[in-house]
Structure 1
Amino acid sequence: MPKDWTETLPPAAAAYLEDRRLDEVECIIADLPGIARGKAVPAAKFARQEYFHLPDSIFYQTITGDWGEAAGEEGFIERDMILRPDMSTATAAPWTGDWTLQVIHDAYDRTGTPIPFSPRNVLKRVVSLYREQGWTPVVAPEMEFFLVAPNLDPAKRIEPMMGRSGRPAAARQAYSMTAVDEFGPVIDDIYDFAEAQGFEIDGITQEGGAGQLEINLQHGDPVLLADEVFYFKRLIREAALRHNCFATFMAKPIADEPGSAMHIHHSVIDTETGKNIFAGPQGGDTDAFFTFIGGLQTYLPSVIAVLAPYVNSYRRYVRDNAAPINLEWGRDNRTTGIRVPLSGPASRRVENRLTGMDANPYLAIAASLAAGYLGMMKEIRAEPQYRGDAYEGDEAIPHDLWSALDLFDAETEMHDVLGPDFARVYSIVKRTEYQEFLSVISPWEREHLLMNV
């Protein structure tokens, strides 16, 4: 690390440390679930290191902490990766007791080749395919999550948090400012943490669930926005813990409430001209617009296992319950899986409404962009626009993770875009995780089967 590395920090990180002594640097990387893995090191040591090591086994680990047999021909030898900092990601960790920065790292092997199943590398691979065509992809994620009462017993149902009024958070209060005010102290900390980290929030709204909020982010570079979602999940959890509640990004944490999505808005810019390729000279829809949608309709089924990565994820896709059940597309139609929001030609975009908030943001954005890329490259025309309530249409989304993984394994064209080695590792790890789930007997089974069958 150069001696003057603190003088080239991003503006928000530099402002955070102004007239202060940096104590520690958290060197982090996202694993397959999107959990931050890494090391915390004293600032003086970080200044002396150009990289650090972690075993590649962090990418073979399931959400329970077990491992899938995905190490390859050499076996499970836990080979060290080389993790190099991306200093453009340096940002504050404002909830810590001392002055701490976080820095996202990229993973390489000993020859300097990017590790193909590192999620950030997967997204970079997809973005590079766009750039080879002279395109600049742009995304804008929307993050939905619940603030819930502390839950220390997994056998206990999740309950809404207690609001500022002393009453539990109420459901069916979408867009209510009064409901947002109930979480005022938590939201204040979210804003403060985001400002300290240099993140711009486009807005916070109350969603339809009890204690469910949505944060919208400004559109921008896919890797930058995935980094922000990765960071935001951590800062929202830390803000919640300060106020005796939990923030959860489960797709369906409460049975009778809607699930939490991460809607992804996409547009594509011609790198040379700076024009949105979804809009023609007179403002009309272009072939690229229709083939991008066609790619989503054709290839999203093969990556549902990435957009909905857990058994709980499939509880979200319920007819008439704020989540799509098919891949129809429509203009300004929130019942369709693919929505074209109201906008002028310059900001014309396509919204993927299938992704759950439990998805790894790097992998979800990569998979969504990959589907649109394949549609444009193969000139797959979108099906006719759906008019009316798409919940009245046929279901076209797998009902469980195992079925979704079968679709994922079969679509080799998608593997070529995301990376064959990533596809291999992801499938093995997720199938291992599903087998772990099957080894657990649920309360439903004990209640209804114990004495009745």
Structure 2
Amino acid sequence: MTHPDWIARSPEATQTYLKDIRLDEVECIVADIAGVARGKAMPASKFARQEKFYLPNSIFLQTITGEWADNPHGAFTEPDMVLTPDFSTATAAPWTADYTVQVIHDVFDQKGEPVPIAPRNVLKHIVGLYQAKGWKPVVAPEMEFFLVARNIDPNQPIIPPMGRTGRRAAAKQAYSMSAVDEYGKVIDDIYDFAEAQGFEIDGILQEGGAGQVEINLNHGDPIALADEIFFFKRLIREAALRHDCFATFMAKPIEGEPGSAMHMHHSVTDIATGRNIFSDEAGRETPEFLHFIAGMQKHLPAAVALLAPYVNSYRRYIPDFAAPINLEWGRDNRTTGLRVPISGPEARRIENRLAGMDCNPYLGIAASLACGYLGLLEAENPRAECLGDAYISEDELPLTLGDALDLMVDSAPMRGVLGEEFVAVYESVKRNEYKEFLQVISPWEREHLLLNV
């Protein structure tokens, strides 16, 4: 069965974008383990005639450097997976020279079963666990990133971009409107691209780093918002390139500057009533609210490998750089890894501040929700609320990628909710990346060890 009427089944913003124009190309994409878009581009006329297409399952064994990790499930035969379009994700690519639409595809094996190692399927599985209990998870992500000067030589340090004043963007200007105006043309294009794609931005602000920006998204369905972040990363990069700079989502791109986080606000509603299960009828905190926090405190160490997926991620986990490296929780306390923002009872939520912006949004949201889900099942209480400075708390989290992978693999509950097959593939990919990194000799080693040891 073909789908010649697929545009009519697309979101309203996409239909508006395509009104009175001739669509040239469709990009059929999926997110790999890193969150990189993989797939095929084809003429729009061919897409309308094609029900599905195929990609080898090896795209989920590719590392961030383009190498191939060992397949933990047997021979490297690269069987094809079946990709079918999710038309609800069809969205414009407004930066292209011709008229192009991107469509995220669902990934199945040849028997019609969801491929368990596909990141979007991992998130769908976690959401399904909630739904089986009569719950609907709600998330609201915050995206931090840096605009930086073009860097075409990896041996050179990354530096801030040149602003409209002719000066480099300055650090320590959090919430400054003037700082945002320095690269206002990039922000304008981000707004324009987002509008064309049908994405609603809740707010844009200057963060503490030089050229560091934060974009907040409205709360909603975890899968839809993971799709948006997946699209937003490309959108933001394209907007930056139009103005002779790069956008980077590295967790720690500039030495001496804060890192970039992907804070995630979580709440859970009862499907039958629509009520936020974190508040009772009188507006008070419920036991479920505390159970969710307890689950995050207990299980987040085993999820850090998904929230901080690269060696660079752990450069963000150092004291005094506005990154909470603890599992304390507190009300309106930004030094805690788990913060309860000020809100009314209907919007009571928990903010996980541990994830880096370099994480795959599907896997980062899935991992965070998995911890809360386990807490709801275990029905334990968290330790006492932190009322002071949690930055001085003892380290409770793995501070290297290798240690984080060990904790993930050793956690039976985490393997159980994420899926044994996925965890095995993820570990294989990340062990390969870690091994590659350890073969690179850094400038620090040459400077301090070459003649001194």
TM over 0.5: yes
When the two structures are aligned, how many residues end up with a matched partner?
452
Give the 5 Å matches for 1:421-436.
421-436=421-436
Map Cα deviations across residues 97-146 of structure 1 (whole Å, 9 max, x no partner).
00000000111100001110100000000000000000000000000000
- 1:138 is paired with a residue whose SS is strand
Q: Which runs of 5+ in 2 are unaligned?
A: none
| Residues 1:12 and 2:13 are matched in the alignment | yes
How far off is 1:329 after superposition?
0.3
* Aligned twin of 1:49: 50
- 1:27 is paired with a residue whose SS is strand
Could you tell me how far apart the structure 2 residues matched to 1:8 and 1:433 are?
Answer: 40
Could you tell me how far apart the structure 2 residues matched to 1:96 and 1:130 are?
Answer: 39
Could you tell me how far apart the structure 2 residues matched to 1:96 and 1:289 are?
Answer: 45
- 1:210 is paired with a residue whose SS is coil
Could you tell me how far apart the structure 1 residues matched to 2:10 and 2:164 are?
Answer: 38
* Aligned twin of 1:269: 269
Could you tell me how far apart the structure 1 residues matched to 2:137 and 2:291 are?
Answer: 15
Could you tell me how far apart the structure 2 residues matched to 1:31 and 1:413 are?
Answer: 24
Give the 5 Å matches for 1:29-428.
29-70=30-71, 72-73=73-74, 75-428=75-428
* Aligned twin of 1:443: 443
- 1:120 is paired with a residue whose SS is helix
Amino acid in the other structure paired with 2:19: E
Could you tell me how far apart the structure 2 residues matched to 1:349 and 1:434 are?
Answer: 35
How far off is 1:371 after superposition?
0.2
Could you tell me how far apart the structure 2 residues matched to 1:254 and 1:374 are?
Answer: 36
Could you tell me how far apart the structure 2 residues matched to 1:147 and 1:2 are?
Answer: 40
Overall identity of the aligned pairs, in %: 66
Map Cα deviations across residues 129-184 of structure 1 (whole Å, 9 max, x no partner).
00000000000000000000000000000000001111100000000000011110
Could you tell me how far apart the structure 1 residues matched to 2:408 and 2:9 are?
Answer: 42
Asked if the contact 1:26/1:38 (under 8 Å) is kept, the reply is: yes
* Aligned twin of 2:29: 28
Could you tell me how far apart the structure 2 residues matched to 1:143 and 1:172 are?
Answer: 18
Provide the alpha-carbon RMSD of the alignment.
0.7
Asked if the contact 1:327/1:396 (under 8 Å) is kept, the reply is: yes
How far off is 1:393 after superposition?
1.4
- 2:268 is paired with a residue whose SS is strand
Could you tell me how far apart the structure 1 residues matched to 2:3 and 2:247 are?
Answer: 38
Could you tell me how far apart the structure 2 residues matched to 1:369 and 1:448 are?
Answer: 43
Could you tell me how far apart the structure 2 residues matched to 1:347 and 1:228 are?
Answer: 22
Amino acid in the other structure paired with 1:59: F
Could you tell me how far apart the structure 2 residues matched to 1:112 and 1:77 are?
Answer: 19
Asked if the contact 1:57/1:71 (under 8 Å) is kept, the reply is: no
Could you tell me how far apart the structure 1 residues matched to 2:122 and 2:328 are?
Answer: 27
- 1:137 is paired with a residue whose SS is strand
- 1:193 is paired with a residue whose SS is helix
Which segment drifts farther, 379-388 or 124-133? 379-388
Which segment drifts farther, 190-199 or 391-400? 391-400
Amino acid in the other structure paired with 1:25: V
Map Cα deviations across residues 396-424 of structure 1 (whole Å, 9 max, x no partner).
12111001111011001111111110011
Amino acid in the other structure paired with 1:58: I
How far off is 1:7 after superposition?
2.1
After superposing on structure 2, the runs of 4+ consecutive aligned residues of structure 1 that deviate more than 4 Å are: none
How far off is 1:448 after superposition?
1.1
How far off is 1:2 after superposition?
2.4
Q: TM-score, normalised by structure 2?
A: 0.99
How far off is 1:447 after superposition?
1.1
